[in-house]
Amino acid sequence: MTAQWPSWLPLRSDLQALSPYGAPQVPSQAAMNTNENPFPPSPKLQAAIAAKLAEVSATLNRYPDRDAVLLRGALANFVNELSGTNFSQNQVWAANGSNEILQSVFLAFSGGKALGFTPSYSMHPLIAKVTSVEWIDGARNNDLTFNIDRALIQVKEFKPRLTFITTPNNPTGDAIAIKDILALSKAVASVGGLLIVDEAYAEFSQKVSSVSLIEENPHLVVIRTMSKAFAFAGARVGYLVGDSKIVDAMSLVRLPYHLSALTQGAAVVALDFRKELLSSVTTLISERERVVKALTGLGLSSIPSSANFVLFSGFAQSAPQLWQAMLDRGILIRDVGLSGYLRVTIGNEAENNLFIEALAQIVSQKTGEQL
Ligand SMILES: *Cc1c(COP(=O)(O)O)cnc(C)c1O
């Protein structure tokens, strides 16, 4: 509970007990808590964006392209390049972050239940609540792995309108096999629902993207973002890839001119620089492996990750205690609310070193070994 609402305020009763999404934004030496890419845009890209924004500013008296046609075309090309698909702008929708896409999906396709498998992305159930959709938690196994057999049974049992999976999953980092996604998508189709595959971390994974399944499975929808691997979180651009009818439905629920001309312009430039922006992915993957080794060296364990973060456990303190002790040393990581686990976003080399050093100090203190 974060707020005691006054009685004069006619706030929806189903919202009164909710807490807002709130990853702490506090000063730190190393911000490793929201899965951002630690590498800022190059001076060349900064200049290209600035030039584009200068050009766009000349027409800011006018509304932007309501359908963001240029940007959606550029996103379609980008997906096709990565996945060997053949999408056009009619199969891509763009909005202010994939969170806005998620909200639009709920607005367009609610009227039934939504099913997800937690622990997973906390905004799926939260947006369900805000849009008054009943959320069913299918849950993962005790060891936090995804249970496809149980998921298939739950789809048959609950007949959800919307079924959500996240792959690679946040906060665990594991990816779901494409054959399991296909099986789940068939089950979802048989109950008249949609399967929403949240691929916020797809670029970090070696697995085939679910976009390759869309042509044969129109009830499968993939949601992606420029915020993570693409190193563009501050611009707020997310997108959906799906059947053109899904995309048509998005335009029913979006607000008019939802994506500003400045955002559209900057995103198109960033997509031109995609090679540069995605070049950090390899570095981040090898840094991830280095961090995992260090965790193991400290006697901690972690879930094998296909993303730019690691969920680790095995420490003697409680998660909030260790989180605070790390913050006291200037390292901001994430307490995802799972008892005994903390999540660290892979940073640049210096940040990862700070993380490892601080953690080593705390862990060895606690076990009474030498400092
Ligand atoms: C970070 C994240 C998002 C949100 O991304 P935005 O595009 O920045 O809104 C969506 N889904 C998952 C699983 C995430 O981790």
pLDDT score recorded for residue 306: 97
Residue nearest to atom 14 of ligand 1 (CA): 200
Q: Using the structure block, give the residue that is written with the tokens 């005790």.
A: 142
| Ligand 1 centroid from CA 198, angstroms | 8
Residue 116 main-chain phi, psi, to 5 deg: -145, 175
pLDDT tens readout for residues 341-359: 999 999 999 999 999 999 9
- Asked whether residue 152 falls in the same domain as residue 256, the answer is yes
245 shares a domain with 192: yes
pLDDT computed for residue 58 by the predictor: 97
| pLDDT band, residue 4 (cuts 50/70/90) | confident
Note the pLDDT of residue 164.
98
Question: 295 with 235, same domain?
Answer: no
Domain residues for 214?
Answer: 43-272
Mean per-residue pLDDT over the chain, rounded: 95
The percent of residues above 70 in pLDDT, for the chain, comes to 98
Assess if residue 257 is contained within a domain. yes
Which atom of ligand 1 is nearest the CA belonging to 102? 10
Task: Answer whether residue 361 shows pLDDT above 60.
Answer: yes
Do 320 and 307 fall within a single domain? yes
Long-range contacts of 151-156 (CB under 8 A, 24+ apart): 151/117, 151/184, 151/187, 152/183, 152/184, 152/187, 154/115, 155/115, 155/184, 155/187, 155/188, 155/191, 155/193, 156/187, 156/190, 156/191
Residue 119 lies in a domain: yes
Is the model's pLDDT at 133 over the cut of 50? yes
pLDDT in tens, 281-317: 999 999 999 999 999 999 999 999 999 999 999 999 9
In a domain, 1, yes or no: no
Residues in a beta bridge with 127: none
Question: What CA–CA distance (Å, rounded) separates 7 from 266?
Answer: 44
At residue 371, the pLDDT reads 43
Same domain flag for 218 and 127? yes
Last residue of a domain, one of 272, 294, 328: 272
- Give the pLDDT band of residue 364 (cuts 50, 70, 90): confident
Residue 3, in any domain of the structure? no
Give mean pLDDT, residues 80-102.
97
Ligand 1 closest atom vs CA 166: 13
Q: Is the pLDDT of residue 325 over 90?
A: yes
Q: CA 150 to CA 152: how far, in whole Å?
A: 5
**Domain finish residue from 254, 272, 290:** 272
- Mean pLDDT is lowest, of 12-21, 86-95, 254-263, 291-300, for 12-21
Residue 366 — very low, low, confident or very high, per pLDDT cuts 50/70/90? low
Query: Is residue 244, in this structure, part of any structural domain at all?
Result: yes
- Is the pLDDT at 220 greater than 50, yes or no? yes
Residues 141-163: pLDDT tens digits?
Answer: 999 999 999 999 999 999 999 99
Q: Which CATH number fits the domain that encloses residue 337?
A: 3.90.1150.10
206: tokens are: 């070696």
Q: For residue 145, tell me if it sits in a domain.
A: yes
Same structural domain, 198 and 285: no
Which of residues 244, 272, 300 is at a domain's end? 272
Of the candidates 74, 111, 104, the one whose C-alpha atom is nearest the C-alpha of residue 89 is: 74
Mean pLDDT, range 222-228, rounded to an integer = 97
Q: Kindly state the tokens that stand for 251.
A: 């335009």
* Residue 31, SS3 per DSSP: strand
Asked whether the beta carbons of 114 and 164 are under 8 A apart, the reply is yes
Same domain flag for 237 and 105: yes
Q: Domain of 146: which CATH number? A: 3.40.640.10
| 106 shares a domain with 34 | no
Q: Residue 200 Cα, ligand 1 centroid: separation in angstroms?
A: 6
Token readout for 340 is 């005994």
* Claim to verify: residue 232 and residue 351 sit in the same structural domain: no
Judgement on whether residues 148 and 212 belong to the same structural domain of the protein: yes
Residue 341: the pLDDT is 98
Same structural domain, 241 and 345: no
CA of 94 to the centre of ligand 1 (A): 14
Asked whether residue 319 is domain-assigned, the answer is yes
- Nearest 5°: the CA angle 101, 107, 112 is 120
pLDDT at 370 over 50: no
CB neighbourhood size of 267 (10 A): 26
E strand or H helix at 90, and its extent? none
225 vs 19, residue with greater confidence: 225
d(CA 304, CA 172): 8
- Ligand 1 surroundings by CB, under 6 angstroms: 35, 97-99, 121, 166, 170, 198, 200, 225, 227-228, 233, 238
The pTM for the full model equals: 0.95
Q: Is the pLDDT score of 332 beyond 90?
A: yes
pLDDT band at 22 (very low <50, low <70, confident <90, very high): confident
**Probe ligand 1: pick from 21, 98, 174, max atoms within 8 Å of CB?**
98
CA distances to 126, 128, 138, 143, 210 from 153, in Å: 24, 22, 10, 20, 21
pLDDT digits (tens, 9 = 90+) for 51-82: 999 999 999 999 999 999 999 999 999 999 99
Ordered DSSP codes for 283-349: HHHHHHHHHHHHHHHTT-EE---SSSEEEEE--SS-HHHHHHHHHHTTEE-B--S-TTEEEEE---H
Q: How far is the CA of 257 from the centre of ligand 1 (A)?
A: 22
Bridge partners, 164 (sequence order)? 196
The 10 Å Cβ neighbour count of residue 368 is: 7
Say what the pLDDT of residue 111 is: 87
Domain count, the chain: 2
